[in-house]
Structure 1
């Protein structure tokens, strides 16, 4: 289960769909299933990870799945919000805690088909736990 707090909903259906897709990729069930996670990643997926590493599509879903315990500590998400940059293109911003490590995240999602979104870029920047 993904813990959610202080999210901002969206009146824009495209932003709402991208937010739902982002939450799915953060769920332990999705993260533990390489095929399921892979369906949310665009073939040109690229990430600058909070670890400082640069990550591409090839092998990402398998690496995440092998390191995910579906019964482990849930991911905490705070202040998820998004903006539509263009038709079928959404940017999301939020703060996340994964295994005690906090990071600010930005992801870019593009609509691959009606109701189907794929992440093509993610950026994670380490941060301290929120103080509020």
Structure 2
């Protein structure tokens, strides 16, 4: 895969991971999270793989979609893409970064995410 294809694949995976229908489908959402997943959430909490699956399902059940603005990506190494964007949900805006890596089978998985509250 060239640089443009890798970035496009990671951006598509990020968008999928944010969709309520994905988060509500535990096996589908789990495929997008690396086993060593780690997150510093906007709430200030640290989340691991299991906690992220649970929180994602809870958010999906609330029904409010995550709105995304200015999503972009950059290849930082072959098979590793940094994704940046601003999200809004329930009136809260956050700046977000994610690190995605391509596994041996070609599947993209997020292994680190950070959310920072944005000034309104």
Q: Calculate the aligned-residue CA RMSD, in Å.
A: 1.6
Q: For the Cα contact (< 8 Å) 2:83–2:97, is it kept in 1? A: yes
Provide the C-alpha distance between the structure 2 equivalents of 1:52 and 1:12, rounded to a whole number of angstroms: 33
| Between 111-120 and 81-90, the greater mean CA deviation after superposition | 111-120
Provide the C-alpha distance between the structure 1 equivalents of 2:94 and 2:100, rounded to a whole number of angstroms: 19
Q: Deviations over 1:11-34 (max 9, x none)?
A: 710000000000000011001112
Tell me the matched-pair count: 118
Query: Which structure: greater helix fraction?
Result: 2
* 1:17 equivalent in structure 2: 9
What TM-score do you get using the length of structure 2 for normalisation?
A: 0.90
Q: Give the unaligned 5+ runs of structure 1.
A: 1-10
What TM-score do you get using the length of structure 1 for normalisation?
A: 0.83
Structure 1 residues 1-132: aligned runs within 5 Å: 12-69=4-61, 72-113=63-104, 115-129=106-120
Q: For the Cα contact (< 8 Å) 2:20–2:59, is it kept in 1? A: no
Provide the C-alpha distance between the structure 2 equivalents of 1:22 and 1:84, rounded to a whole number of angstroms: 14
Q: For the Cα contact (< 8 Å) 1:17–1:115, is it kept in 2? A: no
The structural deviation recorded for 1:115 is 4.2
Q: For the Cα contact (< 8 Å) 1:35–1:61, is it kept in 2? A: no
The structural deviation recorded for 1:55 is 0.7
